[in-house]
Amino acid sequence: MSALLNNVMKNKVVRKFASPWRLALLVALVLIVISVVRRITGANDLTSAGLSSATLRFTIPLLMAGLGGLWAERAGVINIGLEGMMIAGTWIGAWFAFLHGPWIGFLAAAIGGALVGLFHGILVVKIGIDQAVSGLAINLLALGAARYLSGVLFIPNGGDISVSPMVQQPGYLTVPGISSWLLSINGKNIIILSDAAGVLAGFVTEISWATIFLLITVPLSTWILWRTRFGLRLRFCGENPIAAESLGVKVYRTRYMALAISGMFASLGGAYLSLVASQVYREGQTAGRGFIGLATVIFGNWRPSGVLAGSVLFGLTDALRVRQPTSIHAALLVIVILGALFVIWSITRGRMKTASITAAAALFIGFIYIKVPIIPNEFVTFFPNLATILVLVLLAQKLKPPAMLAVPYREREEGH
């Protein structure tokens, strides 16, 4: 349900709250609600520094997979092979990090991922294999190749057929002064102020350099796709390849590049998982993150900022769940209160339909909050799927996928 809220807020509220002051007010309001709920329920983890840094570490792999999906789909090709490209990244990253250190690991993963993406490109663009079939083939191929190569290369080096030897991770950044200042405020237990300090402290304490570099790819993707000639042509290929070609855009070449970039992003997400989040390659460690990344593309309405919002939301639920399962219950109360506030706001604006839908949803969640003291893990792990389905159902008319997504396109022969 929070997916609905989130999107309604993004689409309507943010447009209304255009000025940064009003946005700040909104953030402050959310923080006050969380702070109060934390006091009432005693779920202290809701605003801890540990939670925000864990959320960040869970978000990055999903975000990179999501951006990978976004780049491919913007050019008109579906990339079901994201999971396989992530697997490639976890393996390549771990092996090269073991040999030459973490940064070479990331570099190798980027190159390797681009090659796998290009392979997908040749299969679907040039040869014309069904996009879903090719993607699935890549998922299986990556799994098998990683296992084979582990047997050949990891076993003689202290690893195993499914595990790499331990690798070094990239360095950490703790902003001097600010980090300890925020943590000290967080420790004082002042309402709202300590909560804000706790959340912020997670972003300036022991944050991996890799996290920082990979986060930059979000604005970078937006800039390239919407502000450069190359980006415009790439999106053109996804919207109308026939028109693009008639205007001299090389559709095949553009799609190859889009898929190489797609593979590179997914693979970097995999490398982050094995190098930063685990310090070891382990068969199966991607655990479906590539598919959740694919869901964030739909959730985020094919925009990098939307993909980021989706990854943070899914990363946050996972972090809340594994760190302190009881705080999921408290999070429901946060959603109910925010929903109630939104209802009041909608009524004052005369939006009765939005108000009634939100009120019904908030009442339902409130009912669950009171009746179900421990939210079953099954429901929480299902949340990303549920959120994406809700977005698809409730906001279908607002979603704007590329017009020619997944439609095969044949370039015209020279001289015709």
Partner 1 sequence: MQNRNTKKKGLLAVVLAAGLAFSVVTATAPSASAATKITKIGVAFDLGGRDIPGFNQLAYFGARDYVKTHKGVKIQELQAALSDTDATREERLRLLATSGSNPIIAVGFTYASSLKIVAAEFPDVKFGIVDDSTVVLPNVQGIVFAEQEGSFLVGAAAALKSKTGNVGFIGGVQTPLIQKFEAGYAAGAKSVNKKIKVQVSYLSVFPDFSGFNDPAKGEEAARGMFDNGADVVYSAAGGSGAGAHKAALAMKKWSIGVDADEWAFPSNKAYKSVILTSMLKKVDVGVLAFINSIDKGTFKSGSVTFNLKNGGIGYSTSGGRVSSYKKKMDTLIAGIVKGKIKVPSKPAM
Note the residues at the interface with partner 1 (CB under 8 A).
44-45, 48, 50-51, 54, 57-58, 61, 140, 143, 147, 155, 158-163, 165-166, 273, 277-280, 282-285, 287-288, 318-319, 321-325, 377-378, 381
| Closest to partner 1 by CB, 7 or 134 | 134
| Closest to partner 1 by CB, 35 or 55 | 55
- Residue that is written with structure tokens 């864990």 in the block: 54
CA-to-CA distance for 226 and 234, rounded, in angstroms?
A: 10
The answer to whether 331 and 46 have CB atoms below 8 angstroms apart is yes
Question: Which alpha helices (DSSP H) does 10-130 contain, by range?
Answer: 14-16, 20-41, 49-74, 82-100, 102-121
| Closest to partner 1 by CB, 81 or 304 | 81
Least distance between partner 1 and beta carbon 395 (Å) = 27
| Closest to partner 1 by CB, 156 or 176 | 156
| CA distances, 186 to each of 72, 316, 326 (Å) | 42, 20, 21
CA-to-CA distance for 25 and 18, rounded, in angstroms?
A: 11
Strand (E) positions, 291-369? Answer: none
CA-to-CA distance for 83 and 65, rounded, in angstroms?
A: 8
| Closest to partner 1 by CB, 50 or 366 | 50
The answer to whether 274 and 64 have CB atoms below 8 angstroms apart is no
| Closest to partner 1 by CB, 280 or 405 | 280
- Residue that is written with structure tokens 């937006």 in the block: 222
Q: Hey, what's the torsion of the CAs at 319, 322, 326, 329, to 10 degrees?
A: 50
| CA distances, 245 to each of 72, 191, 299 (Å) | 18, 60, 30
Per DSSP, 18 falls in state -
Q: What's the start-to-end Cα distance of the chain, in Å?
A: 53
Strand (E) positions, 155-245? Answer: 172-173, 207-208
Least distance between partner 1 and beta carbon 34 (Å) = 17
Least distance between partner 1 and beta carbon 167 (Å) = 11
| Closest to partner 1 by CB, 34 or 273 | 273
Least distance between partner 1 and beta carbon 374 (Å) = 9
Least distance between partner 1 and beta carbon 380 (Å) = 9
| Closest to partner 1 by CB, 186 or 254 | 186
Least distance between partner 1 and beta carbon 168 (Å) = 10
Least distance between partner 1 and beta carbon 381 (Å) = 5
B/e letters for 55-90, b = 16+ CB within 10 Å, e = fewer, are bbbbbbbbbbbbbbbbbbbbbbbbbbbbbbbbbbbb
| Closest to partner 1 by CB, 26 or 215 | 215
Least distance between partner 1 and beta carbon 119 (Å) = 20
The answer to whether 7 and 395 have CB atoms below 8 angstroms apart is yes
Least distance between partner 1 and beta carbon 245 (Å) = 39
Q: Please, what's the largest Cα pairwise distance for the chain?
A: 75
Q: Token digits for 376? A: 């079953």
Contacts (Cβ under 8 Å, ≥6 apart) of 281: 90, 91, 93, 94, 95, 146, 150, 154, 159, 163, 164, 167, 274
Least distance between partner 1 and beta carbon 139 (Å) = 10
Phi then psi for 337, rounded to 5 degrees? -65, -45
| Closest to partner 1 by CB, 143 or 214 | 143
Q: Token digits for 94? A: 């771990």
| Closest to partner 1 by CB, 76 or 269 | 269
